[in-house]
Amino acid sequence: MERPWILKTVALLLALGKPAMSPHSVAFGSVLIDINHVEGNAYVNEQRLEPSATPFRIMVNSVVRTDDGQVEIFLYESVLVFLGKNTSLRIANNSPYNSPRLELLTGSTIVATGDMGSLVTCENTVTLSHSGLYRFDVHHLPAVEPPSGVKLCGLRVTKGAAAVQLMTVVSVLTRGDFMSLSLGCGDLIPIQKFNVEETDNLDDWSRGRLRLRGAQ
């Protein structure tokens, strides 16, 4: 029998996939997405971003990519997205809802949610709770046969909760939980543990940026 708090968490996270309009929301077609901060080489739709004191506004369905750079994105309401080096993502249409969806393509991405959750696709679809801190790492394994290799996505929850849609069930991850996402594994993906105190350069950089904004 499932514990009641897990059932409540699942219901809450799934509801976040269909966010309601708030008094401060805007029509989906005009959702504001800003590149807040750029270090090194980064691109939007292959247009190079220049460091600037003012945000660079981008549109839904744009692809943001780094090579030796790092990028901070402000994504509607109070969601911040941090791209590490050699990383790319698409900020995808999530019509008819007023919040775009992140499609993670390559590399390492950290998502910090504030007053509102977020929806992420990294192999599986993942719904993030509000007030959370999450890391996704995309790995492309060598191909066994042409034309392509296997793609895996690691999800770590440092703060908050995440609901992962598997083939027929939903898995809920909370602080200190890790899961390797793969569509080919169906429902057979275990939840593991990781040490939230162990960090790398991307973790440290993103947390420093959050402290500057007073977000964490």
Which sequence spans correspond to the domains of the chain? 4-14+31-213
pLDDT the model gives residue 215? 63
pLDDT of 24 higher than 50: no
* CA 128 to each of CA 10, 23, 155: distance values in angstroms, whole numbers, following the listed order: 11, 22, 11
Contacts 24+ apart (CB under 8 A), 49-52: none
Among the listed residues 135, 181, 134, the one whose alpha carbon sits nearest the alpha carbon of residue 159 = 134
In this prediction the pTM is 0.84
- What is the architecture of the domain spanning 4-14+31-213? Sandwich (2.60)
pLDDT tens column, 115-132:
989 999 999 999 999 999
If one compares 164 and 29, the residue with the highest pLDDT of the two is 164
**Average confidence (pLDDT) over 172-200:** 95
pLDDT the model gives residue 17? 46
